[in-house]
């Protein structure tokens, strides 16, 4: 079993995560994170191990004007994220091997 296969869930688990955990817990943490970080207009946000993408989606809802990218290894989680926002760039990949490199203060995909 590959590392990616190990972290895959069936379609119902991400939907339940989004329905119950995001409103009760994860969105509270995501709002707190964005309040503390205070991303500035035009800055990029990379939501690593994003799950259903609550941090990137909340940044989008707050009117963040920079690039928003969410990356997660789980295909089903990203499927839910894509339904919730077509504006955020959703990337399937591992937090342990990010497919980005830094270039002049921005990051670009290497693949």
The tokens describing 101, both together, are: 């490199």
Q: Residue 106 pLDDT > 70, yes or no?
A: no
Q: How many CB atoms lie within 10 A of CB 102?
A: 8
Q: Of 6-10, 31-35, 49-53, 103-107, which gets the smallest average pLDDT? A: 6-10
Residues forming beta bridges with residue 48, ordered by sequence position: 71
pLDDT confidence of 101, banded at 50, 70, 90?
confident
The tokens describing 88, both together, are: 């955020």
Q: How many CB atoms lie within 10 A of CB 85?
A: 17
Residue 62 parent element (H or E): none
């Amino acid at each position: 079993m590959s590392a990616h296969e190990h972290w895959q869930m069936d379609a119902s688990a991400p939907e339940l995560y989004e329905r119950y955990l995001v409103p009760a817990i994860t969105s509270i943490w995501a709002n707190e994170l964005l309040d503390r970080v205070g991303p500035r207009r035009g800055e990029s946000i990379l939501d690593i191990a994003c799950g259903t993408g609550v941090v990137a989606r909340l940044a989008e809802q707050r009117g963040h004007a920079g690039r928003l990218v969410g990356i997660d290894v789980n295909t089903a989680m990203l499927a839910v994220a894509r339904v919730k926002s077509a504006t955020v760039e959703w990337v399937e990949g591992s937090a342990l091997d990010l497919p980005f490199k830094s270039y002049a203060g921005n990051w670009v995909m290497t693949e």
